[in-house]
Structure 1
Amino acid sequence: MPTGVAIRDVREQLFAAAERVLLRAGASGLTSRAVTEEAGVAKGVLHRHFADFDDFLAALVEDRIARLADRAEALRAAAGTGTVAGNLTDALAEIFETVAVSIVALVFARDALRERLRRTTPAGLPLLTEAGAMLAGYLRAERDLGRIAADADVDVLAPTLIGSGHLLAAGSGAPDAAELRRVVTAVLGGVVA
């Protein structure tokens, strides 16, 4: 790309390129050169917007965490509609779409990235911790509506669902919807009213 040409939404363009590379080549194939080549921009563009590659990756993960906040609000608003198992299955399917699993693998693979993310997400595994909080918020709303048992421990149910969903998605891409629903139904067990 010629020097001096303005690029619209450069951050999102770079983030989208990073996700494509991550899906195609995995965490080990994700380099600043691979990202800029995929985005069709000069390598300097990434370094003009981010201090270094780990800063870029941290911003990517933080952006994806921020997107969960919007999804969390929509999920809480769904409380009282559909079925609890159906809403959770849909939420988990969205959480564990292929790129989210790849981002979690990336966080595991890069020590410097984990260290930077600890500044903004000090507990748990970034992205999965926030996804667990999203599910817990939804389960609280359903408990308040009486659709799950009043004594249901949502702070145990939510990470159990996240862990189960992650195991189904790891290594195989997005989890099978029927298998995911079966797991959600089993985890909810006797708590659904």
Structure 2
Amino acid sequence: MPTGVHIRDVREQLFGAAERVLLRAGPSALTSRAVTTEAGCAKGVLHRHFTDFDDFLAELVLDRVHRMDAQAAELRRAAGTGTVTGNLTGALTALFGSVAVAIVALVTFRDELRARLRRTWPAGVPVLTEAAEMIAAYLRRERELGRLDAAADVDTLAFTLIGAGHMLFADRQAAPPDTEAVRRTVTSVLAAALVA
């Protein structure tokens, strides 16, 4: 795109382009040139809006984490409806079917990005810790409603579900797991905690 041409919502255009590159080719292919080429704009556009490329990536990660708020609200509203297993199967599929797995790989791949994220996100990998909190909050509500055993350790269950979900979806070469594979995993993790 020629210099001087106004781009509406530059941040979102660049974030969307970064997601597409990340999903298509992985974290090693994610460069400022790849992002601006994908976005159809001059390389200088990215550097006018962000201090440097790692600043851009940190903002991308945090933006995508904050987008999980709507998913968390939806999961909380589902408490007491349907089945606990069905609700969590849907939530994990939506979470890991998105860019979340690729963002985990990106954070793992780039040391400077991890260092920058630590300034505002002191523990864990942003997408995964937010997801674990989302699932733990949902499980707490289900426990209050009597659909989980009163002694269920919801934090451990949430971490276990996130870890298992990540492992199911982490293989970028194979097709994503089907709903039944995710449901089997959720069922196994929750087996002792579900109230019949």
Give 2:91's aligned amino acid. A
| Alignment partner of 1:99 is 2:69 | no
Give 1:176's aligned amino acid. D
Give 1:42's aligned amino acid. A
| C-alpha deviation, 1:175, in angstroms | 2.8
| C-alpha deviation, 1:82, in angstroms | 0.8
| Alignment partner of 1:26 is 2:16 | no
Q: Look up the match of 1:87.
A: 87
Q: Look up the match of 2:129.
A: 129
Q: Look up the match of 1:191.
A: 193
- The aligned length equals 193
Give the 5 Å matches for 1:1-193: 1-171=1-171, 172=174, 174-193=176-195
| C-alpha deviation, 1:173, in angstroms | 5.6
Q: What is the rounded CA distance, in whole Å, between the counterparts of 1:189 and 1:90 in structure 2? A: 17
Secondary structure at the residue paired with 1:190? coil
Give 2:154's aligned amino acid. V
Question: Where do 5+ consecutive residues of structure 1 fail to align?
Answer: none
Change (3 A) 1:9 1:173: farther
Moved over 6 A (4+): none
Q: What is the rounded CA distance, in whole Å, between the counterparts of 1:5 and 1:134 in structure 2? A: 41
C-alpha RMSD of matched pairs (Å)? 1.0
Identical amino acids, percent of aligned pairs: 68
Secondary structure at the residue paired with 1:184? helix
Q: TM-score, normalised by structure 2?
A: 0.95
Moved more, 48-57 or 120-129: 120-129
Q: What is the rounded CA distance, in whole Å, between the counterparts of 1:67 and 1:2 in structure 2? A: 31
Give 1:38's aligned amino acid. E
Q: TM-score, normalised by structure 1?
A: 0.97
Once the two structures are superposed, residues 24-67 of structure 1 have per-residue CA deviations (whole angstroms, 9 ceiling, x without a partner) of 11110000000000000110110111000000000010011101
Secondary structure at the residue paired with 2:99? helix
| C-alpha deviation, 1:124, in angstroms | 1.2
Question: Where do 5+ consecutive residues of structure 2 fail to align?
Answer: none
Give 2:129's aligned amino acid. T
User: 8 Å contact 1:17–1:39 — kept in the other structure?
Assistant: yes
